[in-house]
């Protein structure tokens, strides 16, 4: 048995592991990707209802204009913007740019600032029509 008291894996949360901004950003990137899959299923259902005829389309429109669905659309917009911005960050990492700790923290802060601004702009434009 090892005398080392540190956790064996970074995925073991507890007193030996300090949560870092990069690990939180990674978790949120995966979570936003899952949310986008759900959004695509809803969008697909909307297109199927559109193809099925006026009655199905009216029913689906009634479901999608429910206040709970409006909240989900707004949350999906935030997820898409975050996933997009963080994905660009990952593309830079793939090119070998900004992989040091300070640059990673700086780019994380940029994503945290730019993604909500982009989401709010899209929501304002989308709901104004």
How many percent of the chain have pLDDT more than 70?
A: 87
pLDDT tens per residue, range 99-114: 999 999 999 999 999 9
- Domains observed in the chain: 22-128 (1.20.1300.10)
> Taking residues 83-105, what's their average pLDDT?
94
pLDDT at 8: 61
pLDDT tens per residue, range 34-60: 999 999 999 999 999 999 999 999 999
Tokens (6 digits) for 14: 């507890």
pLDDT at 44: 96
Question: Which residue has 């540190």 as its token pair?
Answer: 6
| Averaged pLDDT score across all residues of the chain | 89
Which candidate, 81, 91, 76, places its Cα nearest to that of 112? 81
111, 89 contact by CB (below 8 A): yes
86, 94 contact by CB (below 8 A): no
Distance CA 92, CA 107 (A): 10
Cα–chain-centroid distance for residue 31? Answer: 6
- Residue 16: pLDDT band by 50, 70, 90 thresholds? low
pLDDT at 18: 75
pLDDT of 21 above 60: yes
CB atoms under 10 Å from CB of 30, counted, come to 11
- Residue 11: pLDDT band by 50, 70, 90 thresholds? low
């Amino acid at each position: 048995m090892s005398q080392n008291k540190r956790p064996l894996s970074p995925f073991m949360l507890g007193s030996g592991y300090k949560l870092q901004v990069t690990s939180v950003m990674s978790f949120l990137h995966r979570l936003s990707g899952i949310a986008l899959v759900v959004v695509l299923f809803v969008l697909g259902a909307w297109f199927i209802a559109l193809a099925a005829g006026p009655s199905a389309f009216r029913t689906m429109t009634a479901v999608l204009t429910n206040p709970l669905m409006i909240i989900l659309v707004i949350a999906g917009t935030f997820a898409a913007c975050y996933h997009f911005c963080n994905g660009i960050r990952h593309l830079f990492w793939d090119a070998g740019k900004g992989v040091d700790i300070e640059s990673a923290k700086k780019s994380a802060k940029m994503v945290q600032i730019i993604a909500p601004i982009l989401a709010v702009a899209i929501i304002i434009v989308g709901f104004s029509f």
